Structure 1
Amino acid sequence: MRTVTFGMNISIDGYCDHTAFSPDQEVHDYFTQMMDEVDLIFFGRVMYELMFPYWADVAKNKSGTADEIRFAQKLTAIERVVVSRSLHSTDDKTRIVRSDPSKELLRLKQQPGKKISVDSLSMLAELIEADLIDEFNLVVHPVMIGKGRRLLDVANLNQNLNLKLNDTILFKSGSVALHYLKR
């Protein structure tokens, strides 16, 4: 069975607003290296629309720093699934799923392949409750935002999810990567 991993940038006060962070080369390289183990990204619509077409344009036009271009090229090369009832079309590497994200992720998890990366705050609690997330990769940035979406903003878990810290990386910027495994 494939491993499902969740990764997210987060502020010290628990917010996940991508516009509030300025990832440096080390953080970009960290996420780029994580994608070496991934062959499918499972998006919610909001996160998909934040990531694409922005990173696709960076990859195509080479319109960023060297580390941003490497990240963009790696990201756009991976097959994607986006869960959405309102999205009408996507690029050729992305398939739209209209309902039941837990059922679809379980189906994908049972297929052979590398890791599946989940990139969605809106579905996170549902996927945790369905026992589908195996790893959490959080990069905590040294900033307090005080507004926006939190990691589990829209839902409550029915029970605690106990995790085991597997690894930490301290970046020169003061950001910290925390890699947790489900117990």
Structure 2
Amino acid sequence: MRKLIFGMNVTLDGYIAAIGDDIGWSGPPSDELFQWWLDQERASDLSLYGRKLWETMSSYWPTGDQQPDATPAEIEFARNWRDTPKVVFSSTIDEVDWNTRLVTGDAVAEITRLKAEDGGPMGIGGATLAGAAMRAGLIDEYALATYPVLVGAGTPFFTALDSWVNLNLVETRTFPGGVVLNRYETRR
């Protein structure tokens, strides 16, 4: 059975985007934090995206390694991003590219099916998609890179749940700029 990991940059007050889908509060990550995210991406066998995150990622990373100021880590991230199989869940887009499959049907049923397969970890991103997986009890690990900023409102990392989810802290790490990473595994 595959492990499903939900990880994102988040504000101290719990948002992955401020009002208007503004993620400018995070600025460019430190080299160390970017490397941590790269290591997570390399360890993932499959990436699951909601439409908005897919549009953000696919607008830059297919050619991110060709940017004149790309760092070695950014070059590696772009190449890894293109090579890693991806599934996009959306009923509003018609096609995807870069080693990606589009799912327009029941996201929870498809994620459940993918989790039951043999293979390495899967990463999930996008508030709506991750929220559906969270409510269905499918998330095995949460990774929050918390930035020392309050935005007051926006898109929350956590969705409303029908019942408690107990977690075990498995890693805490501080990065430059006061970013604190906490990783939790779901206690089953």
TM over 0.5: yes
Q: Which residue of 1 aligns with 2:25?
A: 20
* In 1, Cα distance between equivalents of 2:152 and 2:61: 27
Per-residue deviation at 1:60?
4.2
Over 3 Å counting, the alpha-carbon distance change for 1:63 and 1:99 in structure 2 is farther
Structure 1 spans left out of the alignment, 5+ residues: none
Per-residue deviation at 1:123?
2.1
Which of 148, 155, 160 is 2:164 aligned to? 160
* In 1, Cα distance between equivalents of 2:66 and 2:99: 15
Over 3 Å counting, the alpha-carbon distance change for 1:25 and 1:86 in structure 2 is same
Classify the secondary structure of the residue corresponding to 1:161: coil
Structure 1 residues 55-74: aligned runs within 5 Å:
55-61=61-67, 63-74=69-80
Q: Which residue of 2 aligns with 1:143?
A: 149
Q: Is the 8 A contact 2:173 2:182 kept in 1?
A: yes
Q: Is the 8 A contact 2:83 2:98 kept in 1?
A: no
Moved more, 18-27 or 40-49: 18-27
* In 2, Cα distance between equivalents of 1:102 and 1:62: 40
Over 3 Å counting, the alpha-carbon distance change for 1:67 and 1:143 in structure 2 is farther
Over 3 Å counting, the alpha-carbon distance change for 1:62 and 1:132 in structure 2 is farther
Question: CA deviation digits over 1:95-124, x for unaligned, max 9?
Answer: 000021111011111112110100120122
1:120 aligns with 2:126: yes
* In 1, Cα distance between equivalents of 2:99 and 2:122: 15
* In 2, Cα distance between equivalents of 1:105 and 1:117: 11
Aligned length: 181
Classify the secondary structure of the residue corresponding to 2:53: helix
* In 1, Cα distance between equivalents of 2:135 and 2:150: 28
Once the two structures are aligned, what percentage of the paired residues are identical? 31
Which of 176, 182, 185 is 1:172 aligned to? 176
Moved more, 133-142 or 53-62: 53-62
Q: Is the 8 A contact 1:28 1:71 kept in 2?
A: no
Which of 24, 35, 44 is 1:29 aligned to? 35
Q: Is the 8 A contact 1:59 1:76 kept in 2?
A: no
Per-residue deviation at 1:62?
5.7
Q: Is the 8 A contact 1:141 1:175 kept in 2?
A: yes
* In 1, Cα distance between equivalents of 2:137 and 2:66: 37
Classify the secondary structure of the residue corresponding to 1:149: strand
Structure 2 spans left out of the alignment, 5+ residues: 18-22
**RMSD between aligned alpha carbons?**
1.5
Question: CA deviation digits over 1:49-75, x for unaligned, max 9?
Answer: 011121112134465233322222222
Length-normalised TM-score, structure 1:
0.92
